[in-house]
């Protein structure tokens, strides 16, 4: 099977497995695991933040951010297609007791003026706007790199209003590699950031949240409350360190593969393909009279996996375990089935 469902399906490399085997460990709830400390210090440095915390998943990292920034009854502003709104089981409502308020972005990019207008004035009737969430790259929009200028504008508005900003940077590494803008410059435009090590970077488990010392101290307590305080977790932090320090630059290869895939599929008349910016390719299949479900069934028979991303939209995500030859195979097989 050529698995293009997500970049989360990557398996740890030999170097990662070796690092896990050799990891020096301790009890991380006592903050005594040197391998976790090393990972967190490195991540904080790369993101230009005072401190970082290793968490179990991207979802846990985002939710810890919401829990740390907000109080029950507050309101969070975010894009209508944000992962935090669509794909986290309404956990900001279920766990933090906050109300999401969505803004319809354009390919994942919110209009700063609309964000400004949505910040609540001080009034006994209103919830308090206590957080703005951004996402870069934007998953649902198709791996879109949100422009730094847009983030700067929103951060300016947020700071003026005294509202913190959290960045869901599950794929911030992809944004940085594609744009040539450093992780720090992106993270500079937010108070806190979450990055996934288990996506394009290929770590088996884990995400990082980063921010001020004070934020991370509070976040550490929320992580413990959620059951995310782990013990000899250096076993997991060691492969994550390998991911963070050796796997970023190679994301360019995934981006090249995504572009190649999009160009190859473009030949099929009736397929509409969204502009590729990073490692995600969105393909609309209504023009060849397929639904996402029927299209996926057919390519699965050819040994290709992708996921539905709407009734007639399919998402392919290039990743470390998919080679250029695999991409050629995918193009050949889709063309054989659908091009006339």
Residues contacting 200, CB < 8 A, separation 6+: 7, 10, 171, 173, 174, 247, 251, 254, 279, 319, 320
Residue range at the interface with ligand PLP (CB under 6 A); choices 54-62, 268-276, 298-306, 317-325: 54-62
CB crowding 183-196: b at 16 or more within 10 Å, else e: beebbbbbbbbbbb
Quickly list DSSP for 46-86: HHT-SEEEEES-HHHHHHHHHHHH--TT-EEEEETT-HHHH
β-pair partners for 75 = 99, 129
192 in contact with ligand PLP (CB under 6 A) = no
For CA atoms 70, 71, 75, 81, the dihedral sign is positive
Identity of the residue, 207 or 279, whose beta carbon is nearer to ligand PLP in the bound complex: 207
143 in contact with ligand PLP (CB under 6 A) = no
- The residue behind tokens 């599929």 is 265
Identity of the residue, 171 or 338, whose beta carbon is nearer to ligand PLP in the bound complex: 171
What is the distance between the alpha carbons of residues 26 and 12, in angstroms, rounded to a whole number?
Answer: 22
CA angle (287 as vertex; 281, 293 as ends), nearest 5? 65
What is the distance between the alpha carbons of residues 23 and 8, in angstroms, rounded to a whole number?
Answer: 23
Identity of the residue, 57 or 93, whose beta carbon is nearer to ligand PLP in the bound complex: 57
Identity of the residue, 62 or 189, whose beta carbon is nearer to ligand PLP in the bound complex: 62
Identity of the residue, 59 or 130, whose beta carbon is nearer to ligand PLP in the bound complex: 59
Contact status, residue 47 vs residue 210, Cβ threshold 8 Å: yes
Identity of the residue, 83 or 223, whose beta carbon is nearer to ligand PLP in the bound complex: 83
196 in contact with ligand PLP (CB under 6 A) = yes
Residue range at the interface with ligand PLP (CB under 6 A); choices 55-63, 243-251, 284-292, 316-324: 55-63
Contact status, residue 280 vs residue 288, Cβ threshold 8 Å: no
251 in contact with ligand PLP (CB under 6 A) = no
Q: Which of 135, 274, 290, 326 binds ligand PLP (CB under 6 A)?
A: 135
Binding residues for ligand PLP, total number by CB under 6 A: 13
Q: Which of 13, 139, 278, 319 binds ligand PLP (CB under 6 A)?
A: 139
Return the residues of window 151-170 that contact ligand PLP according to CB under 6 A: 168, 170
58 in contact with ligand PLP (CB under 6 A) = yes
Contact status, residue 269 vs residue 301, Cβ threshold 8 Å: no
Point out which residues bind ligand PLP (CB under 6 A): 57-59, 62, 83, 135, 139, 168, 170-171, 196, 198, 207
């Amino acid at each position: 099977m050529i698995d293009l469902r997500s970049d989360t399906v990557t398996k740890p490399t030999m170097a990662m497995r070796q690092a896990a085997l050799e990891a020096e460990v301790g009890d991380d709830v006592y903050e005594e695991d040197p391998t976790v400390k090393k990972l967190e210090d490195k991540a904080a440095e790369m993101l230009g933040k005072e401190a970082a915390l290793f968490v179990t998943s991207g979802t846990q990292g985002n939710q810890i951010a919401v829990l740390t920034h907000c109080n029950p009854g507050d309101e969070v502003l975010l894009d209508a297609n944000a992962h935090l709104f669509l794909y986290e089981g309404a956990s900001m409502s279920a766990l933090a007791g906050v109300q999401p308020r969505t803004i319809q972005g354009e390919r994942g990019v919110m209009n700063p003026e609309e964000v400004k207008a949505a910040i609540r004035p001080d009034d006994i009737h209103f919830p308090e706007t206590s957080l703005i969430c951004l996402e870069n790259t934007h998953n649902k929009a198709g791996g879109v790199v949100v422009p730094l200028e847009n983030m700067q504008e929103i951060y300016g508005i947020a700071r003026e209003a005294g509202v913190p900003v959290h960045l869901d940077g599950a794929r911030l590494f992809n944004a940085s590699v594609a744009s040539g803008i450093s992780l720090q410059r992106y993270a500079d435009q937010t108070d806190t950031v979450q990055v996934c090590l288990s996506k394009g970077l290929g770590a088996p488990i884990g995400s990082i949240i980063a921010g001020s010392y004070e934020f991370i101290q509070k976040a550490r307590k929320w992580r413990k409350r959620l059951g995310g305080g782990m013990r000899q977790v250096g076993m997991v932090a060691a492969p994550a360190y390998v991911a963070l320090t050796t796997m970023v630059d190679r994301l360019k290869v995934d981006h090249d593969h995504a572009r190649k895939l999009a160009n190859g599929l473009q030949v099929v008349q009736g397929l509409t393909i969204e502009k590729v910016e990073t490692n995600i390719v969105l393909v609309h299949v209504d023009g060849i009279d397929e639904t996402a479900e029927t299209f996926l069934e057919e390519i699965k028979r050819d040994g290709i996996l992708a996921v539905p991303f709407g009734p007639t939209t399919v998402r392919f995500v290039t990743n470390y375990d998919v080679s250029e030859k695999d991409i050629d195979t995918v193009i050949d097989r889709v063309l054989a089935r659908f091009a006339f």
